[in-house]
Structure 1
Amino acid sequence: MKYEILAPAGNLEKLKTAIDFGADAVYLGGSKLNLRAFADNFTNEQIQEGVEYAHSRGKKVYVTMNVFPHNDDLIGLEDYLRELGSLKIDALIVSDPSIIITAREVIPEVEIHLSTQANNVNWKSAKFWHEQGVKRIVLARELSMDEIKKIRAELPEDCELEAFVHGSMCMAYSGRCLISNYMTGRDSNRGACVQACRFKYNLVEEKRPNEYFPVLEDERGTYILNSKDLCMIEHIPELADSGIYSFKIEGRMKSPYYVAAVVKSYRQALDSYLADPKGYKFNEEWMNNLLKVSHRQYSTGFYFGEDSRQIYDTSSYIRDYDIVGKVIAFDKDTMTATIEQRNRVFENDYVEVLSPKGDSFGFTLNDMYDNKNQKIDVAPRAQMIFTVKTEVELKVNDMLIKAKGDN
């Protein structure tokens, strides 16, 4: 059976990164009606470029329209859907019947995928949506592996299942949250979530307004709504056996480095399993890559009934590594790499190379020169171009990463 690795594309660079590092498909937000209002959402021109980039490599592009639209949001919907259809996108990810009905009417050639926002948690609901023209069900994150298998067994073969396997988890049921609305006026169900679940909370008793009581026995307070990140990299065989077709990675707001590392790990793990299911062995390097990117503590979410899914002491990310550069050219004759800087980096720094193919490796930066051929000992400016000599061959789009604190 063929499976799909589906990656987030917060902007055009991330789209290309996801595809270069092994994604079969990407999902992105256009200019309207998606749940990442503060991402670098795509213009129609950027969608067209992204679709052309993906299709030329045999990959797919899905556009999210997964808000819960109010009346005003429906104005101009038909025209916008026609624009998307003309861009040759492969599917729409939708949560509301109004958009599903309209899409079926004006762009019937485009597949419809039911967003996880629709919180589909049983086979009868999935079957209902499939009968309304939905090709794929993006399952709610609150399902166990056994429940997913039951859903798969009851559905027609042509009804695909998709599920999140990695990334941030939402405290609210399938993302349906009103905390942001009440506290800040920003509607999480229309793409403007302030992530109030990550705030620090204490209890206050009505008659003692200036006394703050920690929810747990901790003088710093507690993050009672703060969830761990989902990570299923160690459970590829179970995912493949569950009937899930598309393995979805969360993170349209994350960095290109995050996209590259996570996609690569899941690509390698899935390919290794499919090549030899009986002899499959987990490679710790896959997890090492996931531990280096920005993340919160990992868990397996609801798949196996894990008891602890919350972090109570901090809402901060674990950030042990930074991307410091991206290879934009390499001269084999002189073994000189041209680098676009992403974070400050010094001569003699040891960096690791995250490449679309093969295992990671490292080298020390030597003979640094700026684009005016002036010797430098540091690349301090964002996106400045510099060159280094290497003893190893690099490739265009290789990412250079460095442990924080290392010089």
Structure 2
Amino acid sequence: MTRLELLAPARDEAMGIAAVNCGADAVYVGAPRFSARAAAGASVEAIGRLARYAHRYHARVYAALNTILFDDELEEACRIITQLYHAGIDALIIQDMGILEMELPPVPLHASTQVHNATPEKVRFLEKAGFSRVILARELTLEQIAHISKETSVELEAFVHGALCVSVSGRCYMSQALGERSGNRGVCAQPCRKPWNLVDARGEKIITGKHLLSLRDLDLSDHLPELAMAGITSFKIEGRLKDESYLRNVTAWYRQKLDAFLEGNPAFGKSSSGRVLFDFKPDPARTFSRGSSSYFLHGRHAGMTSMDTPKSAGERVGVVVRSEGRQARIKAEKELHNNDGITFFTGTGVLGGVKINTVEGDLITWAEPVNLPPGTVLYRNYDHRFEEQLRSSRTSRKIGLKITLEETPGGIGVTGTDEDGISLSMVFPVDYTPARDTEQAARLFREQFSRAGETPFEVTTAETHGKWSLFMPQSRINALRREFLDAFTAHRENVRPVEVRRIGDEDVPYQTTSLSWSENVSNALADRFYRRHGVREIEPAMEVTRDYRGRRLMTMKHCLKYQLGHCPREKKAGQVTGVHSPLPEDTGSAAFPRVTDNTYPAGTTAMDAFPGEKVSPGAAEASSAPWKEPLYLSDGKRKFRLEFNCRECTMNLYHL
């Protein structure tokens, strides 16, 4: 049986526990330092407590220590890794290959998506180098994922939900070049979410003040069966910086989606224990969302961007019929509530917002005056009633447990067997007091042992075997039950499967003998790792050299030519789309064909190698666009050159 894992984010201990309670098979949490979300690191002590809680359900905790490191940080990073191992983490997510040169405890290693894991050759190298799991590039198609799975045997993890980095595998240097806030160091300023002007070589503005690089959020919740069949065993939710409502809602949504798949597919199973008892109905549209996209899972298509706003506009809820001052008549499409947060786009395409004071039928009273012309589409990015539901939720997770009791010469024998087949038998010595009513005495034992309270268990059956003649006060029975359930919890921890680090092959050659700065080698240990694997020429990371002039800062699969309908490779391309614009179906189609070829374009590099995108004859020819190239992104102060590599189907952004 193939075990599938739902992997949820955790900013801290409390959010990690919430994720486990909502059905996560594993959570990932930032290390105290050197996490790709510097603002979302947790203490070693908190991570240890989270691990102990998760392990009750045989769920796992992964620590993300996935920035690149400088030489003067290596000793501290090694010390933190050792502390995390002793705190009980189940694996370490890393980007910096220098970590493999350290004297590490036997903690399993997962290769971060920032390593740019996009080809079978790269994934196979990481597998042989000692990684037990590889987190694939978000830009891959389903066919490419299946091809990698077929050619390798390492565990494969894929992002299925949340924010997308527009630069492939998060390898973006724009923030570093603008203000020395590197995503590779966990402090990205997200300039991709800013408004930019698209300017041509003559200085003419093609688009003004749009969020040209801002992508919609990933949502593959309807594609989990395809991904599982393609070889993905871990389904990852992004969002360590999101709030707890988002975490509960999205984790619950994916738990239910995954369970529905597992129910009809006995070849697959859960990778942790317990059944979630939900007291709310999850719906990702009702918490943070920039709009959804399947990204490149079924090939390139329109509708990937959110150019009007990088914020959460929310779900569409209605249209304005008439508005004046603080009141509006609307045609509602969803039930609205007092204190809901409503958004709308102004005539100039700017996102605005207002809170609802009261709802009386189709009459809305706003918290402040707002001018909304008839026909204005309304969205809701704060659903007050749903948020209250999530905040007060008592959703719990319970492990099924069968208990049998019998009288023995030594006292009361208790045997428990849980849903995983884990069993424990104990005998509790007791002073014998004969029961006046033996059936009532036996029933009292069954009733009290059927109650599991705040423990991780739900007792599905509690039975007494054989002749029963013993009487015991209810308080004493409850004490025995608590002692047994505590012992069973400890027993589950003792028999919990524990993975250890794979031993890597020190002689396996890397795919190339030279590395550019884009491979992010920032310390002597990383340099030694690559040289040990056959690399002879290594250019230091941009964070080390700080040499930006003329450098490529981004490689993107997102393409503005395609979005504007001037793709040389497509007869029919996309359109500029925002949250409030009509979108084409988010699947492969005749206009947006699915990629099925698994060949590799010649001359690809680690930054732009995406197998499966055929090069069409004449693809690099200029399109009949109404502008003069090169094109630039500008905010009025700074300017970046765009290059369209139609051969590789990428758009590159360069520092001038």
Q: TM-score, normalised by structure 2?
A: 0.46
Secondary structure of 2:122's match? helix
Which residue, out of 180, 189, 193, partners 2:184? 189
1:35 match = 36
Q: Confirm or deny that 1:67 pairs with 2:64.
A: no
Query: Per-residue CA shift, 1:82-131, capped at 9, x if unaligned?
Result: 111111110000112101332xx3212x1100000001111121111111
Secondary structure of 2:209's match? coil
Q: Confirm or deny that 1:226 pairs with 2:214.
A: yes
Which residue, out of 200, 223, 242, partners 1:254? 242
User: 2:218·2:294 contact (CA, 8 Å) conserved in 1?
Assistant: yes
1:106 match = 104
Distance between the aligned counterparts of 1:53 and 1:16, measured in 2? 7
Question: What 5-or-longer segments of structure 2 have no aligned partner?
Answer: 267-279, 316-335, 340-354, 359-382, 398-452, 455-656
Which residue, out of 277, 281, 289, partners 2:283? 289
Q: Confirm or deny that 1:18 pairs with 2:37.
A: no
1:8 match = 9
Q: How far did residue 25 of structure 1 move?
A: 0.3
1:167 match = 162
User: 1:94·1:100 contact (CA, 8 Å) conserved in 2?
Assistant: no
Distance between the aligned counterparts of 1:271 and 1:310, measured in 2? 30
Seen in structure 2, the aligned counterparts of structure 1 residues 134 and 207 have a Cα distance that, compared at 3 Å, is closer
Q: How far did residue 72 of structure 1 move?
A: 2.3
Amino acid at match of 1:243: G
Which residue, out of 178, 193, 200, partners 2:195? 200
Amino acid at match of 2:63: V
Distance between the aligned counterparts of 2:129 and 2:295, measured in 1? 30
Q: How far did residue 221 of structure 1 move?
A: 1.7
Amino acid at match of 1:166: H
Distance between the aligned counterparts of 1:171 and 1:206, measured in 2? 24
1:303 match = 297
Amino acid at match of 1:69: L
Q: How far did residue 318 of structure 1 move?
A: 2.4
1:312 match = 307
Secondary structure of 2:210's match? coil
Q: Confirm or deny that 1:144 pairs with 2:141.
A: yes
Seen in structure 2, the aligned counterparts of structure 1 residues 291 and 214 have a Cα distance that, compared at 3 Å, is farther
Which residue, out of 118, 123, 137, partners 1:126? 123
Distance between the aligned counterparts of 2:285 and 2:63, measured in 1? 29
Seen in structure 2, the aligned counterparts of structure 1 residues 139 and 207 have a Cα distance that, compared at 3 Å, is closer
Q: Confirm or deny that 1:272 pairs with 2:269.
A: no
Seen in structure 2, the aligned counterparts of structure 1 residues 207 and 124 have a Cα distance that, compared at 3 Å, is closer
Distance between the aligned counterparts of 1:350 and 1:8, measured in 2? 24
Q: How far did residue 275 of structure 1 move?
A: 0.5
Amino acid at match of 2:299: G
Question: What 5-or-longer segments of structure 1 have no aligned partner?
Answer: 279-285, 325-342, 359-394, 397-407
Query: Per-residue CA shift, 1:173-198, capped at 9, x if unaligned?
Result: 10011111122221111000011100
- Could you tell me the percent identity over the aligned residues? 36
Distance between the aligned counterparts of 2:205 and 2:163, measured in 1? 25
Q: TM-score, normalised by structure 1?
A: 0.72
1:83 match = 83
Q: How far did residue 237 of structure 1 move?
A: 1.5
Secondary structure of 2:58's match? coil
Seen in structure 2, the aligned counterparts of structure 1 residues 139 and 287 have a Cα distance that, compared at 3 Å, is farther
Q: Which runs of 4+ in 1 moved over 2 A?
A: 75-78, 203-208, 213-216, 318-322, 343-346, 349-358
Amino acid at match of 2:144: E
Seen in structure 2, the aligned counterparts of structure 1 residues 350 and 143 have a Cα distance that, compared at 3 Å, is closer
Query: Per-residue CA shift, 1:183-225, capped at 9, x if unaligned?
Result: 22211110000111000112568998xxxx6542xxx621111
Distance between the aligned counterparts of 2:95 and 2:17, measured in 1? 26
> How many correspondences in the alignment?
320
- How much is the aligned-residue C-alpha RMSD, in angstroms? 3.0
Distance between the aligned counterparts of 2:188 and 2:198, measured in 1? 23
Amino acid at match of 1:154: E
Which residue, out of 132, 154, 179, partners 1:135? 132
Distance between the aligned counterparts of 2:48 and 2:219, measured in 1? 32
Moved more, 312-321 or 165-174: 312-321
Amino acid at match of 2:216: K
1:331 match = none
User: 1:215·1:221 contact (CA, 8 Å) conserved in 2?
Assistant: no
1:116 match = 113
Amino acid at match of 2:240: R
Query: Per-residue CA shift, 1:40-97, capped at 9, x if unaligned?
Result: x111111111111111222110001111212222132322221111111100001121
Seen in structure 2, the aligned counterparts of structure 1 residues 77 and 203 have a Cα distance that, compared at 3 Å, is same
Distance between the aligned counterparts of 2:314 and 2:15, measured in 1? 19
Q: How far did residue 288 of structure 1 move?
A: 6.8
User: 2:110·2:132 contact (CA, 8 Å) conserved in 1?
Assistant: yes
Distance between the aligned counterparts of 2:283 and 2:21, measured in 1? 17
Q: Confirm or deny that 1:54 pairs with 2:54.
A: yes
Amino acid at match of 1:26: V
